[in-house]
Amino acid sequence: MAQINVIGQNGGRQISLDLPEANANLLHEVVTWQLASRRRGTASTKTRAQVSATGKKMYGQKGTGNARHGDRTVPTFVGGGVAFGPKPRNYGYTLPRKVRQLGLAMALSDRQQEDKLMAVDGFGLDGKTKGFISWAADNGMNGSESVLLVTDDVVARQAARNVPWVTVLPVAGLNAYDILRHDRLVIDAVALEPAQDEQTEEEGAA
């Protein structure tokens, strides 16, 4: 059972979460799915039917000494169509919801085990970048590590958005890939407490 200390204006308590042990294979699967969903898939080439050119035969079939050719739209010529080229497509695929949830829990577990997970209840910031940098320094963040700040506190996001070593997300945007690509995770305590409540209810029902 992981014990996460809550800091901030309304801190001073602990959140208990039963986080699974990180599994590299499952995390890789979740991250691959997430990145595939982000691919734009807009690459497009023209087939020989779409190239703007005449369809007239280039020259006679016999008597020229050259190879036999039809029109200039074939892929063998410069400016011709592309054979088996890319077309717009969707690279996304379906991954079971339980697998996605488990991947997110494992990403949180990985940061918690490395003591890089910080839960905050009340930032107490004024929306100024200088104020956030001061707050971060007081809590052991000096820019030597990349930080993912996940909060619904609009003022806190405004204060941190111009800091080059901080990435800002709302709680709804929390995902395994962004957690794993940052050294430290700073998150609203209320985002973790619903999970704690669900675990307590399950234990009570058992």
Q: What is the pLDDT of residues 46-93, one digit of tens each?
A: 999 999 998 899 999 999 999 999 999 999 999 999 999 999 999 999
Quote the pLDDT of residue 193: 82
Phi–psi pair at 4, nearest 5 degrees = -110, 120
Q: Are 44 and 87 in contact (CB under 8 A)?
A: yes
Quote the pLDDT of residue 203: 53
Q: Are 18 and 199 in contact (CB under 8 A)?
A: yes
Quote the pLDDT of residue 55: 86
Residues 69 and 113 occupy one common structural domain:
no
Residue 15's domain is classified under what CATH number? 3.40.1370.10
Residues 174 and 118 occupy one common structural domain:
yes
Q: pLDDT under 50 in the chain at which residues?
A: none
Quote the pLDDT of residue 2: 81
Query: Is residue 204 assigned to a domain?
Result: no
Residues 126 and 145 occupy one common structural domain:
yes
Q: Distance between CA 150 and CA 145 in Å, rounded?
A: 16
Residues 85 and 183 occupy one common structural domain:
no
Residues spanned by the domain of 56: 40-90
The last residue of one of the domains, among 71, 90, 109, is 90
Residues 111 and 74 occupy one common structural domain:
no
Residues 34 and 63 occupy one common structural domain:
no
Residues 115 and 34 occupy one common structural domain:
yes
Report the number of distinct structural domains present in the chain: 2
Residues 73 and 175 occupy one common structural domain:
no
Quote the pLDDT of residue 95: 96
Residues 105 and 68 occupy one common structural domain:
no
Residues 124 and 186 occupy one common structural domain:
yes
CB neighbours of 143 closer than 8 A, spacing ≥ 6?
163, 164, 165
Residues 31 and 45 occupy one common structural domain:
no
